[in-house]
Amino acid sequence: MTKKQATHIVEELIKMYPDAKCSLDFQNEFELLVAVILSAQCTDERVNKTTPTIFKVCHTPEEFANIDIKKLEELLHPCGFYHNKAKNIKAMANILVEKYHGKVPHTMEELQSLPGVGRKTANVVMLEAFHNPQGIAVDTHCKRIANRIGFSKKAEPEKIEQDLLQLIPKKYYQEVNHIFIWHGRNTCTARNPKCEECKLNKECKYYQEQA
């Protein structure tokens, strides 16, 4: 795929989903960081149903750093993988308190040094909390669409992101973080994608190979 083709596809997706945005609920950057960590292997919908209860009990990095781990596990339980998520969130909050005066750091490097925070989470926080996108968060929808349409043949999220960054102009990083997810939820679903009604079917490698 050329940069020109990639740009055209991205512009079509922006037209298809003009209202695409982050679907996690949050009031500040720390709440967002907690919500993104919880969203691993869990739907945003379930995270949004769980975080209000969590934040009623525990809200600041100090409170997360000091909460009893069993209590935190109980609160996070609906989001799955609660042992690991509780351990990471508590350790992450501790570092924020000790190293960053209770604030969420503003760089990819610092974010990725926190427990439970990989490149995908750091990308989401840089975009949604600091409005300074540094890359493209490759989740399950983004991965599927990048492979199907033909942006990347790779399987590893980090490599797919690098292929996307080579093809897509930086001015679209913000939109791309949302439109792939929305296209994946609404049209290019994992099972039975709605290819016949998809406006990208003429450009899509997957669809053209089936035809």
- Give the binding site for ligand SF4 (CB under 6 A): 148-149, 187-188, 193-195, 198, 200-201, 204, 206-207
User: What is the closest distance, in whole angstroms, from the C-beta atom of residue 15 to ligand SF4 in the complex?
Assistant: 14
CA distance 97 to 75: 21
For residue 73, with 0-12 CB atoms within 10 Å meaning exposed, 13-18 middle and 19 or more buried, which class applies?
middle
Contact 186, 161 (CB under 8 A): no
Catalytic residue among 139, 153, 154, 163: 139
User: What is the closest distance, in whole angstroms, from the C-beta atom of residue 172 to ligand SF4 in the complex?
Assistant: 17
Nearer to ligand SF4, 75 or 200 (CB): 200
CA distance 51 to 145: 29
**Among the residues of 82-139, which ranges form H helices?**
82-99, 108-112, 119-128
Supply the Cα-derived Rg of the chain in whole angstroms. 18
User: What is the closest distance, in whole angstroms, from the C-beta atom of residue 190 to ligand SF4 in the complex?
Assistant: 10
**Is 21 annotated in the active site?**
no
**Is 171 annotated in the active site?**
no
User: What is the closest distance, in whole angstroms, from the C-beta atom of residue 183 to ligand SF4 in the complex?
Assistant: 7
- Tracing tokens 């349409």 back to the chain, one arrives at 149
- What are the E-state strand segments in the chain? none
DSSP classification of residue 132: -
CA distances from 41 to 36, 51, 89, 125, 132 (A): 10, 16, 15, 18, 25
Catalytic residue among 85, 120, 143, 163: 120
User: What is the closest distance, in whole angstroms, from the C-beta atom of residue 166 to ligand SF4 in the complex?
Assistant: 20
CA distance 190 to 175: 21
Nearer to ligand SF4, 24 or 204 (CB): 204
Which residues does the annotation mark as catalytic? 120, 139
